[in-house]
Amino acid sequence: MISMTKNKKGVSPLIATVLLVAFAVALATVIIQLEPMDRCPGVDVGFSEISGHKRIYLDEANKEIVFFIENNGKAISGFRIVAEGVRDVVNKDIKKAVGEKKNAKINFSYDPEKNGYPMKLVVTPQIEDKGTIKDCSPMDEVLEIKKGP
């Protein structure tokens, strides 16, 4: 009779788990590197400033946030705006074309009575790419919005 010994060797479950996690992290790193950091090359949009202060204000009479932008790059087709108020968050896409090397005034409907005083504003420029609208990298967040005009 042939005796069979159990002399099998394998990878322990702990080592297998560590290897799988390491593989997943390496794969994620490669995928992130494939996505360009600058989602819209050539786009250079920022808030217009006077004496170091961004030109942004809340117009309570007309229930809107008004801001001015400077486009120092290629043409923009619109903006995605997120305004966080004390009571609610307002998301809106605004179709406002701003040509190369142009400045613009943007009016964004915002009801401070309903949403509360705006605490944060994030503006993301959008471009048209092959017939679809594409979000670029967001502009600087604004954490101070004064009453105006």
pLDDT tens-place string over residues 28-86 = 888 777 655 567 888 889 898 888 888 999 999 999 999 999 999 889 999 999 999 99
28: in domain: no
* Total structural domains within the chain: 1
Q: Let me know if residue 11 belongs to a domain.
A: no
As a residue count, the chain comes to: 149
Residue 110 lies in a domain: yes
In a domain, 51, yes or no: yes
Tell me the pLDDT of the chain averaged across its residues.
86
Torsion on CA atoms 58, 60, 61, 67, rounded to nearest 10? 10
Domain containing 99: what range?
A: 45-147
In a domain, 91, yes or no: yes
pTM above 0.75, yes or no: no
CA distance 93 to 82: 9
Q: Where are the beta strands (DSSP E) in 4-96?
A: 45-47, 49-50, 53-54, 56-59, 64-71, 78-85, 89-94
Residue 102 sits in a domain whose CATH number is 2.60.40
Q: Does any domain span residue 132?
A: yes
